A and B are shown apart, each in its own frame.
Chain A
């Protein structure tokens, strides 16, 4: 069988040698930090506009507001990193080099996951500190405050899961544009809109973006039927399902 470390090294070379994947990952950082800084500066002088009626001022959420867009960038990264094999017909070269489907996918997931986690951790912590500095002493919070470290760290885990989920969906549909056309509207539109529809809104709470999002909240909202870590686990289950689905497609279908 193909040696896992060798295949993982080769997957790393694939990712780093294409500009689009490198840039999509870099933009996760740039978008999230830039928005955190901008919103922090605005909120510094208009804090009342950033407080829900009667609610507390959530300095963590304000600094991490860019994650809403950063997660799209990490979805794009996850899709491109595996999907560009399909658009170029390279998947046949990859499978001829590593015909053991499980090894190939596992190596991809390991490299992608490690990169996404590293990039997400750097992104969320830098964003948090930049955001707090922008807010200034009167409004800012610290990692020592209740739930803050969990929310910041959890955001990085959430982003990593979204990336792997996207990769799994892409391997299932075997087409990067199609994968983006499913994932991006789903996160931007379908999930937020459906969660306003009374009949389905209790179901929507179990969608991957919603369950994973629970861990990013410092001040828990009571309308979620699960805690932050349980939510993250549900999100991880979605991710695992997408990857298993991808594996089955990769094994069964002709390349």
Chain B
């Protein structure tokens, strides 16, 4: 069981991870969700003892990562694509990894086969496409047959075929009873694969709940009404004990409304309707709303922060560090 206790990481005056506490449930896929720059990669690096927490700690079965003997047998991780020496072959890359954790050499061929890289096993990594690099990274993670797998934005930059492959792989791993912890900045991606969700924004925990619970809470439905007779419509709704919120372009929205009932109501009051349409808020919208609130929360009572200029902050991190 991986547990984070008040994990905090500061880079200079940038607070990347802010008092984060949660545990990763075992045997399911947990989506680790947050907008770019939320602190997902930093958190994952701290789980692996690559970056040192400013305060707080991560324990894995009660121990620190650095205290684990042959850690690849416990946790396999894909942090960034192509963290491979370009002049080394896929086979040799997996071989040194296997040797370091006393994994039998035969396993190298096995994982190469699992990720479909057998044909290019003796080719140097410099010629690999992003997708092949990603597959090699996944082969490294699977190499020592660990119970827990951690993937940082594994579908980034992949073509649809690659995305589908990764999605199926994660489902298969969870079906085998493994723990999968996978980050993404896209809700839509997580909705397809995750059983559990941990959402962070600006380094802080925003939500830690099951996917089912998230859907139940956030898939808000409403009915949109549009009419030339606004006054009469609002009176009719009021009379029926319903409240309407102003929607886009002069429309009105009734949360959790029933379209049939609203149509009857309008007819009974002789209100002409130009639109009567059920609306379903997407999970993506729910996620964006959740993280947008975190922005406001941090800004205090004032106005929401203006959206960042494109490309702003491109150099506010150390060279060689991927955000």
Contacts and interface: CB of A to CB of B under 8 A. Distances in A.
B85 A88 contact: yes
A10 B97 contact: yes
A31 B70 CA distance: 41
A92 B42 CA distance: 13
Given A89-B82, A254-B50, A17 B96 contact: yes
B68 to A, nearest CB: 7
Interface in A192-223: none
B71 A18 contact: no
Q: Chain B CB within 10 Å — which of A7, A13, A84 has the most?
A: A13
Given A88-B86, A255-B45, A96 B50 contact: yes
A143 to B, nearest CB: 39
Interface string A1-25: 1110011011101100111100000
B254 to A, nearest CB: 52
A90 interface: yes
B96 A2 contact: no
Interface string A72-86: 000000000000111
Nearest to B72: A97
Given A3-B102, A6-B101, A18 B50 contact: no
Given A10-B96, A88-B83, A93-B140, A1 B69 contact: yes
A93 B71 contact: no
Given A92-B50, A255-B45, A9 B99 contact: yes
A84 B85 contact: yes
Given A7-B100, A18-B87, A88-B85, A99 B66 contact: yes
Given A2-B69, A96-B71, A254-B51, A13 B82 contact: no
B96 A95 contact: no
A243 B140 CA distance: 29
B68 A99 contact: yes
A6 B99 contact: yes
A88 B97 contact: no
Contacts of A92: 45, 48, 50, 79-80, 83
Interface in A86-130: 86, 88-90, 92-100
Interface in B198-214: none
Nearest to B92: A17
A2 B99 contact: no
Contact of B72 (A86, A96, A252, A255): A96
A84 B51 CA distance: 20
7 A-B pairs closest in CB distance: A17-B92, A10-B100, A10-B99, A99-B66, A254-B51, A13-B96, A255-B50
Interface of B: 45, 48-52, 65-66, 68-72, 77, 79-80, 82-89, 92-93, 95-102, 140, 320
Given A85-B85, A89-B80, A254-B50, 10 more contacts: A1-B69, A2-B69, A2-B100, A14-B85, A17-B93, A17-B95, A18-B87, A97-B101, A98-B100, A255-B45
